Amino acid sequence: MQSDLTYDEPCVWDGRFFRIDDHIIRLESSCKTLRLKLPLPREEVKTTLVEMVAKGGIRDASVEIIVTRWLKGVRGSRPDELLNNSLYMFFQPYVWVMEPEMQPVAGKATVARAVCRIPPGSIDPPVMNLQWGDIVRGLFDGIMPTTELDGNLVKDGKLGPITKDIWDGYCAIYYDPKFIFEIDFKNGTAVNGVCQNG
């Protein structure tokens, strides 16, 4: 497949999807950017996902919707000849970025400065893709024994100015504001009543 695909990952919490329509719309937009075509109508994708998760019985789930060009090479083909795309949908128990027991204290983090993210000129940042080699390398670099500097981004329950610069830059490039919440770095809390400290 050569990562010639896009995906989206709506979540299910307590048996309910979070903004499933927005996720499918974003997936369609990503498909358009990559000259892919969602193989099923939007409502059929939604119905299939809801039925699939309901039958599976997992109340907190990470759901994957993947559209790929499949095994057809693009060399020598016109984009309109490559619209027989494949669709994969599956779910698994919810995948935590940080384990729940670590969340109140924010855990430890080290920023790997030697790893450069794939530049926006190479892959359109709003298009979700599986080009995660840079992220994985950064994660591995972050746990190397030579990184003895204090990598804690949260101190005394507050987020520091370096964290703000990193987070603002990362969010500006990689996240759609409809799918995130803002962080009040002065007080170390999230805005809009979500994830407030105390």
Mean of pLDDT values over 22-26: 93
Q: How crowded is the C-beta side of 58, counted as CA atoms within 13 Å? A: 16
0.85 cut: is pTM over it? no
85-118 pLDDT tens trace: 889 999 999 988 777 777 777 656 555 556 667 7
* Cα–Cα distance for residue pair 132/140, rounded to 1 Å: 12
User: Encoding tokens for residue 22?
Assistant: 């927005």
Q: Which residues pair with 86 in a beta bridge?
A: 68
Check whether domain 5-93 has CATH 3.30.470.10, yes or no: yes
Distance in angstroms (rounded) separating the CA atoms of residues 58 and 41: 25
Distance (Å, whole) CA 27 – CA 67: 9
More confident position, 166 or 14: 14
Can you tell me the distance from the alpha carbon of 54 to that of 39, in angstroms, rounded to the nearest whole number? Answer: 22
Query: For the chain, what is the mean pLDDT?
Result: 73
**Is the pLDDT score of 192 beyond 50?**
no
* Residue 142, pLDDT score: 55
Boundaries of every domain in the chain? 5-93, 100-190
pLDDT digits (tens, 9 = 90+) for 135-146: 666 665 554 433
pLDDT at 38 over 70: yes
Q: 142, 111 in Cβ contact below 8 A?
A: yes
The pLDDT score that the predictor gives to residue 101 is 79
d(CA 34, CA 39): 14
Residue 41 has pLDDT above 60, yes or no: yes
